[in-house]
């Protein structure tokens, strides 16, 4: 849809939210690629300006925005209560949903588009890349604290906003089907990568089997635990709030931890073609592990803690397998910017998995150090 039309619809959507003052300005904001995001400035009667975040939810990706917002409202309300009990600042330490004039957490317009508004968190910044190790540590503490505050939330009551998002075993079956069908005749050129996945069949099933057998609990998970989903206070440098809650749903704490390691402890970019530049940095691994365990503050079980390295391995393997599957299917899911882009992405993830396996005992020693 044309961006001018969307912006006109955004202006009309604002009128349906319970906001004080008058609209002073509204403009595109942030670097997200899923939702249309705007910074909204509202001028009060006394001239004071209050900022908000307005978003059009992408219901092509999130098929049930009503359920998504039900998740977010439930989780943020729980967080707000806990933050107040702990003497924190609920206006800055969790997202706060602004309701519509008829009391809903979202507005659906006449074109069927879904809109929401959050209060803007002042004096804090999210970063796309780790600029210094302490940033990675702060993200770990903040995501760990997220786990701690939600440890008593009934995860089974949450909706799956993306069905089977981290069902690694199911994704393994999709991969096998992609190899069998080979619709782009690419399998013959990536036999080494295919063999790597098949050799790690047990890895694909490990965590799912543990959940099914009751060895690890179902928890509220974020499922996109990258650095840029943490707000870091501009003055103190401390992580204060987890944002982008669209993928909050039932899952495994181990996976949330593992996805952060996959993203943040790698020495190379996700699509680095020179694999000699890619490995798992043990120092960054330790920074994050220390922060995450501190943030969780005793809320994880002994089994969950012992399986943290496996979470890093599984999430990295799953991501690489998804890239390879998409390559075999014709690059239909992940956006590519060059020929073989998904193959480069796949290879970096498999290089990380292999490097983790080489350092397996060291990874466990680091975890035991902070447990």
- Model confidence pLDDT, tens digit, residues 150-190: 999 999 999 999 888 899 999 999 999 999 999 999 999 99
Is residue 3's pLDDT more than 80? Answer: no
Short-list 96, 71, 79, CA closest to 17: 96
Q: Residue 101: which residues within 8 A CB-CB, separation 6 or more?
A: 16, 17, 18
Q: Residue 128 has what pLDDT? A: 84
The pLDDT mean for the chain works out to: 95
Q: Residue 276: which residues within 8 A CB-CB, separation 6 or more?
A: none
Q: Which residue has the tokens 């996959």?
A: 262
- Cα gap 371→290, rounded to integer Å: 9
pTM as predicted:
0.93
Q: Residue 27 has what pLDDT? A: 86
Q: Express each pLDDT in 11-62 by its tens digit.
A: 899 999 999 889 999 888 876 667 889 999 999 988 899 999 999 998 888 9
- The two beta strands, 22-28 and 230-233, are unpaired
Is residue 318's pLDDT more than 90? Answer: yes
Q: Which two tokens stand for residue 109?
A: 């317009």
| 244-273: average pLDDT | 96
Q: Express each pLDDT in 53-62 by its tens digit.
A: 999 998 888 9
Q: Residue 33 has what pLDDT? A: 65
Is residue 312's pLDDT more than 80? Answer: yes
Is residue 294's pLDDT more than 70? Answer: yes
Q: Residue 131 has what pLDDT? A: 79
């Amino acid at each position: 849809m044309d961006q001018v039309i969307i912006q006109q619809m955004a202006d009309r959507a604002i009128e349906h939210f319970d906001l004080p003052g008058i609209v002073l300005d509204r403009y595109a904001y942030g670097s997200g690629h899923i939702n249309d995001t705007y910074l909204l400035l509202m001028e009060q009667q006394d001239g004071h300006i209050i900022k908000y975040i307005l978003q059009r939810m992408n219901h092509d990706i999130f098929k049930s925005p009503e359920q998504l917002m039900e998740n977010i409202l439930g989780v943020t309300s729980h967080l707000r209560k806990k933050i107040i009990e702990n003497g924190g600042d609920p206006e800055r330490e969790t997202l706060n949903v602004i309701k519509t004039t008829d009391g809903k957490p979202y507005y659906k317009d006449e074109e069927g588009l879904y809109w929401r508004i959050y209060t803007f968190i002042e004096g804090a910044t999210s970063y796309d890349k780790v600029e210094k190790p302490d940033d990675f540590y702060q993200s770990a503490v903040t995501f760990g604290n997220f786990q701690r505050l939600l440890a008593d939330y009934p995860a089974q009551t949450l909706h799956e906003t993306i069905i089977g998002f981290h069902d690694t075993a199911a994704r393994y079956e999709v991969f096998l089907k992609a190899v069998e069908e080979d619709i782009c005749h690419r399998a013959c050129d990536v036999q080494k990568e295919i063999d790597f996945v098949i050799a790690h069949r047990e890895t694909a099933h490990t965590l799912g089997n543990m959940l099914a057998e009751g060895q690890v609990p179902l928890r509220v998970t974020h499922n996109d635990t990258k650095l840029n989903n943490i707000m870091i206070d501009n003055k103190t440098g401390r992580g204060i709030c987890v944002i982008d809650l669209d993928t909050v749903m039932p899952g495994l704490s181990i996976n949330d931890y593992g996805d952060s390691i996959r993203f943040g402890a790698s020495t190379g970019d996700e699509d680095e073609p020179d694999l000699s530049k890619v490995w798992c940095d043990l120092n960054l691994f330790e920074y994050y592990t220390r922060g995450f365990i501190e943030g969780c503050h005793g809320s994880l079980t002994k089994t969950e803690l012992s399986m943290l390295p496996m979470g890093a391995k599984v999430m990295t393997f799953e991501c690489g397998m998804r890239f390879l599957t998409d390559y075999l299917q014709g690059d239909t899911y992940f956006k590519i910017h060059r020929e073989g882009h998904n193959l480069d992405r796949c290879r970096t993830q498999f290089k990380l998995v292999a490097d983790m396996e080489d350092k397996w005992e060291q990874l466990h020693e680091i975890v035991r150090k902070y447990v």
